[in-house]
């Protein structure tokens, strides 16, 4: 891949992409929000120009609970702006790599969601991401749409780092045990996405860490690593009501991805690796 435009490098995943490409000596352009607000079509068109082989969109409205009150904004950033991005990519001959979420599904499944399962989001954030998926498909642009879930990294605000800090100072934590999914190391997400793109994969793929767990199980591992004295106790979602409903089961089927890139590393190993990079 050459002549890559990465949008949103001031975010967690965008930083992963920028560092990955730099580490491999791949020339690319990168924009932050102050450079490019994807809601501004004219500005977007100035960046997505003929000769741009790939546009990697890491820009998003990610505040799941706030989206319940700001659904119009979420729809514009996560949905309609992405649709216009797809149209511009189609116009100038660029390929689009875009990220979506497990929250486009309703959470009633009992087995991992395949890539072609019908979209039935239960919250505003999921609905906004579903809009983008539909508009990308409708645009006819050559694309790679990657769904992922429960993202974390050695930086930015995420569940793994939040629990790490809480576990260091609190004697106990209560974490919901009735939501199951797949955590995802954002660094590996960028790496696997790049491999899929380079190997010619197109359409929808799911990329996460291997295995599955509940938020409680994820928190219990983190606490055991950073402070075994901290007790992590399971609770129900009803005990910690949030504005946005979450799907109870949002495990993504990653088998198609693993057929291309090989087995994905279990979440336990990825979490340990991220925590090992941080200062005690």
192-205 pLDDT per residue, tens: 999 999 999 999 99
Query: DSSP H helical segments within 93-176, as ranges?
Result: 124-139, 159-169
Check: CB of residue 149 under 8 Å from CB of residue 107: no
Q: Would you identify the CATH topology of the domain 4-149+185-208+252-265?
A: Rossmann fold (3.40.50)
Strands 4-7 and 54-57: parallel
Check: CB of residue 214 under 8 Å from CB of residue 180: yes
* Residue 202 backbone phi and psi in degrees, to 5: -135, 160
Per 3-state DSSP, the chain is made up of helix, strand and coil in percentages (nearest 5) of 40, 20, 40
Check: CB of residue 225 under 8 Å from CB of residue 270: no
CA distance linking residue 236 with residue 216, whole number of Å: 10
Query: DSSP H helical segments within 6-51, as ranges?
Result: 12-23, 41-47
| pLDDT over 90 (residue 130) | yes
Smallest CA-to-CA distance from 265 within 188, 195, 206, 205 is with 188
For the stretch 8-44, pLDDT in tens is 999 999 999 999 999 999 999 999 999 999 999 999 9
| pLDDT over 90 (residue 178) | yes
Q: Is 125 a catalytic residue?
A: yes
Check: CB of residue 1 under 8 Å from CB of residue 190: no
CA distance linking residue 68 with residue 75, whole number of Å: 11
Tokens representing 60 are 């998003």
For the stretch 72-98, pLDDT in tens is 999 999 999 999 999 999 999 999 999
Rounded mean pLDDT of the chain? 97
For the stretch 239-263, what's the b/e string if a residue is b when 16 or more beta carbons lie within 10 angstroms of its beta carbon? eeeeebbbbbbbbbbbebbeeebee
Check: CB of residue 254 under 8 Å from CB of residue 112: yes
Return the H-helix or E-strand segment holding 145.
Answer: strand 143-148
Q: What is the DSSP string of 45-66?
A: HHHS-TT--EEEE------TTG
* Residue 243 backbone phi and psi in degrees, to 5: -55, -40
Q: Which of 113, 125, 152, 249 is catalytic?
A: 125
pLDDT band at 2 (very low <50, low <70, confident <90, very high): low
């Amino acid at each position: 891949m050459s002549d890559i435009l990465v949008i949103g490098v001031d975010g967690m995943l965008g930083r992963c992409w920028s560092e990955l490409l730099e580490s491999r000596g791949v020339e690319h352009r990168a924009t932050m929000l102050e450079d490019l607000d994807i809601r501004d079509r004219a500005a977007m068109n100035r960046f997505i120009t003929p000769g741009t082989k790939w546009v990697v969109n890491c820009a998003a409205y990610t505040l799941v609970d706030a989206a319940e009150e700001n659904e119009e904004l979420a729809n514009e950033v996560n949905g309609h702006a992405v649709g216009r991005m797809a149209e511009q990519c189609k116009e100038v001959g660029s390929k689009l790599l875009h990220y979506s979420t497990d929250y486009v599904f309703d959470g009633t499944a009992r087995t991992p969601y395949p890539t072609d399962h019908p979209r039935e989001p239960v919250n505003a954030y999921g609905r906004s991401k579903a809009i983008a998926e539909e508009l990308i498909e409708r645009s006819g642009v050559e694309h790679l749409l990657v769904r992922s879930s429960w993202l974390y990294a050695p930086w930015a605000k995420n569940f793994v780092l939040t629990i790490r800090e809480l576990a260091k100072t609190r004697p106990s934590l209560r974490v919901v045990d009735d939501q199951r999914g797949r955590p995802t190391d954002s660094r590996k997400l960028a790496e696997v996405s790049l491999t899929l793109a380079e190997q010619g994969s197109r359409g929808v793929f799911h990329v996460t860490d291997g295995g599955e767990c509940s938020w409680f199980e994820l928190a219990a591992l983190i606490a055991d690593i950073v402070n075994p004295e901290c007790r992590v106790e399971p609770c129900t979602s009803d005990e910690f009501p949030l504005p946005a409903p979450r799907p109870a089961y949002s495990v993504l089927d990653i088998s198609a991805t693993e057929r291309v890139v090989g087995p994905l590393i279990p979440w336990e190993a990825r979490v340990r690796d991220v925590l090992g990079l941080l200062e005690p």
